[in-house]
Every structure is written in structure tokens, then in C-alpha cells.
A and B are shown apart, each in its own frame.
Chain A
Amino acid sequence: SAVISQKPSRDICQRGTSLTIQCQVDSQVTMMFWYRQQPGQSLTLIATANQGSEATYESGFVIDKFPISRPNLTFSTLTVSNMSPEDSSIYLCALDNSLNNEQFFGPGTRLTVL
């Protein structure tokens, strides 16, 4: 399995600011995913990040609010823009093991917006 790291592991931010979360993988992967896990909730897919193309967003998520970069096959960033307290959540990146559709998850970034 791949080694996935996320930075920061947690942050406390002020309303109206933006935070960029980084996801680093120790091997080249085609597909990376960004999920949100709100308090007491399950995981919800935000978008799929493919290298060399625009991210594909799920219903309810837009690029202006959650811009994503995927500059190469080992790295991706998710920005949470113009934050409000409702954005307080754990954000996870994941990658797809294309051999058997298993997904590997990063440790998550716990974001609190005041």
C-alpha cells in the first residue's frame, strides 16, 4: 500500500480566510480523491483530482469554493476558500488502487473555523 501524508494535520482558522491542504503520496497514482467528513457524519466525496486535467466535482461542491490542484502524479492540494464555521470538518485525501478499486486514505486534516 502507498504512504499518504497530509499537511497540516489540523488547523484553526478565522471566518473568511482560506486554507490549502496538501496531500503527498510516495508513489505515482492516477486518481486522487478529496473527501469531507463533517462532525458526526460519514465521508462525502468532494472531487476527483486527475493529473493534467480539471478536477471533477460532485454535486454540491464547486471549484470556486474548493479549488484543487494536481501538478503531478504524487501530489495534490485542496483549498477551502472563504471559510465559514460550516466548513469545520475533517478533510481526507485518498488514492485509488486501480487493480482492485480499493482506496487508501490519508490521515486527514481537522479544520476548525471560528
Chain B
Amino acid sequence: AQRVTQPEKLLSVFKGAPVELKCNYSYSGSPELFWYVQYSRQRLQLLLRHISRESIKGFTADLNKGETSFHLKKPFAQEEDSAMYYCALNYNAGNMLTFGGGTRLMVKP
């Protein structure tokens, strides 16, 4: 069965420091991975997807099939990056998402 693991429940960094939120997955099929973000008092929304290989708000994530990882990175954290981040895996021919446990990022001034 598919599984997504985010080992850190909380990550606290200072403004300007690099950030890496870890995500590992297990899935027998071809993985399609996403990062979703939930800012305080806002709904869950898509941050980025591995297929598009885009950088959103300075964040990037590279799919590493050898390590079955999809870590989210940003070189210089900003206070407004403070939020809950969820890694998600698309399965069942593209219709279903399974989520990791989430990591709360706190960026301190």
C-alpha cells in the first residue's frame, strides 16, 4: 500500500536560514507527488507538484526515486513561510491522494 512519511512534526528555523522539509514515500507504481500548504486560518492549497518542476515562493522539491524522497527546500526562509506543510502522493490512476502527517514550519524573526 502507498504511504507518505514526514518525519518531523515541527521544524523551527530563523529568518534567512535554509529550510528542508523531509518527505519519504512508498508506492509500487509510478509516483506523482505534491506539496500542500496550510497557512494560519486559510484552507489547504497546493504549493507545488513534482511534474511541473517549478519553484513557488522560492520553494523547490526534487523527486528522488532512488531514495524515494520528495524533500521541500528553500534557501532563505521568510516569516511568512510559517505554516503546515503536507506531502502528498497521488495513487490509483491519478484520482486519490494520500497525505503525510504534516510538518509545522515556524520561521522566527
**Residues of A near any B CB (own CB < 8 A):** 31, 33, 41-45, 48, 92, 96, 100-108
Contact = CB atoms under 8 A, between A and B. Distances in A.
Central interface residue in A43, A45, A92, A108, by most chain B CB within 10 Å: A43
A102 B46 contact: yes
Given A42-B102, A92-B44, A108-B43, A103 B86 contact: no
Contacts of B97: 33, 43, 45, 103
A42 B51 contact: no
Across the A-B interface, give the 9 residue pairs with the lowest CB-CB distance, nearest first: A105-B44, A43-B99, A42-B101, A42-B99, A107-B43, A101-B94, A101-B90, A42-B102, A102-B46
User: Which bucket holds chain B's interface residue count?
Assistant: 20 to 34
Contacts, number: 41
Contact of B32 (A41, A92, A101, A108): A101
Nearest to B51: A100
B45 interface: yes
B33 to A, nearest CB: 11
A42 B9 CA distance: 11
Contact of A43 (B34, B86, B94): B86
Nearest to A44: B99
12 contacts: A41-B101, A42-B99, A42-B101, A42-B102, A48-B96, A101-B49, A101-B90, A103-B46, A104-B46, A105-B43, A105-B44, A107-B43
A105 B101 contact: no
B49 A100 contact: yes
Contacts of A96: 95
A105 B32 CA distance: 18
Contacts of A106: 43
Given A48-B95, A48-B96, A105-B44, 11 more contacts: A33-B97, A42-B99, A42-B102, A43-B99, A96-B95, A100-B49, A101-B90, A103-B46, A104-B45, A104-B46, A107-B43
